[in-house]
């Protein structure tokens, strides 16, 4: 399910349904590249996407993650149409996509839909700003904890399939640094990491080890995107005539 789509009024969502395309989002898929005009926006349901800042020498660093709480491609409705960043699927899954022009047309209607998307964009900007500060001020194992927790919040389980190379590119560090930090967390009994699969064994321990950035970002998402229509597993859709994977 995607929380933003679930937060739409039923009349708005019914109007969107014919235009929403259900898509697979495999690990490593690039949804957009720097400077390219965005053709679609994406509403992940079970996938997670990393938004990366990139340089001319192909170095990269993650500035935000987007999962079932949001939408990938805010440049479309912020008026830019393109971005200097890259969007990469870092946890495989599914989602919906919507043609960029359809999204623009919807937002020209104004009202609650526009306000919802603007509140989401503010939450996303908060995550980006906090990530930039975190990358400069906090230790790598704290950054890894933050990133793992943000990913877990967007997954139905406590497992994440991810290569060290991709984690390193997201955090903007050397692969060896990720290996060392992951080993520390594993030694502390917080995670189990083997063959590209990370299993979180002690979430509360991760939260204690993470810096304050995770809690600040999570709190801002909660403040801006209430009321929440999704709580925990086993949620019931309040719009009974709509597909459960949307609401």
The CA-based angle 36-131-79, given to 5 degrees, is 35
pLDDT in the model for residue 231: 36
Q: What whole-number distance in Å separates Cα of residue 199 and Cα of residue 155? A: 12
Does residue 143 carry a pLDDT above 70? yes
State what percent of residues in the chain have pLDDT above 70. Answer: 90
The CA-based angle 7-235-23, given to 5 degrees, is 65
Q: What is the pLDDT of residues 88-142, one digit of tens each?
A: 998 999 999 999 999 999 998 888 999 999 999 999 999 999 988 888 888 888 9
Does residue 23 carry a pLDDT above 90? yes
Range from 107-111, 115-119, 144-148, 235-239 carrying the lowest mean pLDDT: 235-239
Mapped onto helix, strand or coil, the DSSP state of residue 35 is coil
- DSSP-derived letter for residue 229 is S
CATH 2.60.120.10 occupies which residues in the chain? 1-136+217-247
Q: What whole-number distance in Å separates Cα of residue 237 and Cα of residue 247? A: 6
Q: What whole-number distance in Å separates Cα of residue 99 and Cα of residue 67? A: 19
Mapped onto helix, strand or coil, the DSSP state of residue 220 is helix
* pLDDT confidence tier of residue 58, bands split at 50, 70 and 90: low
pLDDT in the model for residue 26: 95
Q: What is the pLDDT of residues 81-101, one digit of tens each?
A: 888 889 999 899 999 999 999
Query: Are 149 and 210 spatial neighbours (Cβ–Cβ below 8 Å)?
Result: yes
Q: What is the pLDDT of residues 162-178, one digit of tens each?
A: 778 888 878 878 888 88
Does residue 242 carry a pLDDT above 90? no
pTM for this entry: 0.86
The top-level CATH class assigned to 1-136+217-247 is mainly beta
Does residue 67 carry a pLDDT above 90? yes
Cross-strand bridge partners of residue 198: 160, 193
In the chain, the N- to C-terminal Cα span, in Å, equals: 5
The CA-based angle 70-74-75, given to 5 degrees, is 165
What's the rounded mean pLDDT across residues 145-152? 91
The top-level CATH class assigned to 139-210 is mainly alpha
pLDDT in the model for residue 99: 96
CATH 1.10.10.10 occupies which residues in the chain? 139-210
Mapped onto helix, strand or coil, the DSSP state of residue 212 is coil
Mapped onto helix, strand or coil, the DSSP state of residue 144 is helix
Long-range contacts of 16-21 (CB under 8 A, 24+ apart): 16/98, 16/106, 17/242, 17/246, 19/98, 19/99, 19/102, 20/96, 20/97, 20/98, 20/246, 21/96, 21/97, 21/98
Q: What is the pLDDT of residues 198-222, one digit of tens each?
A: 899 999 999 999 989 999 999 999 8
Q: Which two tokens stand for residue 211?
A: 């810096």
Query: Are 149 and 39 spatial neighbours (Cβ–Cβ below 8 Å)?
Result: no
Does residue 38 carry a pLDDT above 70? yes
């Amino acid at each position: 399910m995607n929380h933003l789509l679930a937060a739409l009024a039923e009349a708005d969502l019914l109007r969107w349904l014919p235009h929403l395309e259900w898509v697979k989002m495999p690990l490593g898929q690039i949804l957009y590249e720097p400077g390219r005009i965005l053709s679609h926006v994406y509403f992940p349901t079970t996938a997670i996407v990393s938004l990366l800042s990139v340089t001319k020498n192909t170095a990269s660093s993650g500035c935000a993650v987007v999962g079932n709480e949001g939408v990938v491609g805010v440049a479309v409705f912020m008026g830019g149409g393109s971005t200097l960043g890259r969007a990469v699927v870092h946890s495989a899954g599914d989602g919906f996509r919507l043609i960029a022009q359809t999204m623009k047309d919807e937002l020209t209607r104004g009202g609650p839909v526009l306000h919802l998307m603007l509140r989401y964009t503010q939450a996303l900007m908060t995550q980006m700003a906090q990530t930039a500060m975190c990358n400069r001020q906090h230790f790598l194992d704290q950054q890894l904890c933050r990133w793992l927790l943000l990913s877990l919040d967007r997954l139905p389980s406590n497992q994440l399939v991810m290569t060290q190379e991709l984690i390193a590119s997201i955090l903007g560090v050397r692969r060896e640094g990720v290996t060392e930090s992951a080993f520390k967390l594993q030694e502390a009994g917080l995670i189990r990491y083997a063959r590209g699969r990370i299993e979180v064994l002690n979430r509360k321990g991760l939260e204690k080890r993470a810096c304050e950035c995770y809690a600040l970002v999570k709190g801002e998402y909660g403040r801006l995107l209430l009321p929440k229509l999704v709580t925990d597993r086993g949620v019931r859709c309040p719009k009974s005539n709509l597909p459960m994977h949307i609401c």
